[in-house]
Structure 1
Amino acid sequence: MKFFLLACCCFFNAVAFAQPGIAEMQQAKQDLSSSFFSAVDFCLVLACLFGLLGGLRIYHNWQMGKDRIDSAVAAWFFASFFMILSGPFLRALFGI
């Protein structure tokens, strides 16, 4: 019986040392926040590229005489708008 209790205490002690500490959790949060801010910047760059490419394609279609460009304007606008809003949404989701 004593051997069983001693073995259980040693096993639970080994499991307790295997758990991450506060320093590791702070390091993980710092790593996530550093990579996340670059992801937010990437979302803004993508939104800018969507806006520029969409504007150029719409201008080209307009100059070529295409009458129905309303759907293209809405599609490029909302693609850019979605990318702009995805950054704050992810920031709120991860709590950073």
Structure 2
Amino acid sequence: MEMKLIDRFGKRLLVCTALTAVSLMMTVCVYAQDGKAGIQEANTKVRGYFDVGCDLMYAVGAILGLIGAIRVYQKWSNGHPDTGSTAAAWFGSCVFLVIVATVLRSFFGI
């Protein structure tokens, strides 16, 4: 009696495992798409989020720019000799932020 129960359980387990594997393979086939469609979808999504991303980048840049300006002012007020290099680095990072947004905008053709 016990062997029949174990054999039935083993057969059911085997059938369930096979059905699960087939179901998983079918869903993988359903979600698959060609490379061109995937690239087009990614391109569309990036274009959709680009303006929001630029605004976020400018907001973070403005906050970091204010912090950098305060650091430069503190060094200048305290008479540190390397104030010029700190100011140049701060200004360069602000210019870089604007240039990156422009280059990315032209790269994606937005």
**Is TM-score (shorter-chain normalized) higher than 0.5?**
yes
The answer on 1:68 being equivalent to 2:103 is: no
Point out 4+ residue stretches in structure 1 off by more than 4 angstroms: 18-22
Which of the two has greater helix per residue?
2
| Per-residue Cα deviation, 1:10-62 (whole angstroms, up to 9, x for no partner) | xxxxxxxx65898xx4x654422221112211221232123211110011112
RMSD: 2.5
Distance in 2 (alpha carbons) for counterparts of 1:72 and 1:63: 13
Distance in 2 (alpha carbons) for counterparts of 1:21 and 1:77: 41
Q: Gaps spanning 5+ residues in structure 2: where?
A: 1-32
- Larger relative contact order (Cα-Cα within 8 Å, sequence gap ≥ 6): 1
User: TM (normalized to structure 2)?
Assistant: 0.57
> Counterpart of 1:4?
none
**Greater radius of gyration (CA):** 2
> Counterpart of 2:49?
35
Contact 2:47 2:108 in 1 (8 A): no
Q: Gaps spanning 5+ residues in structure 1: where?
A: 1-17
Number of residue equivalences? 77
Q: Structure 1 residues 21, 94: CA separation in 2 closer, same or farther (over 3 Å shift)? A: closer
Q: What percent of counterpart residues are identical?
A: 28
Q: Which amino acid aligns with 1:39?
A: G
Given candidates 32, 45, 51, the residue that maps to 2:65 is 51
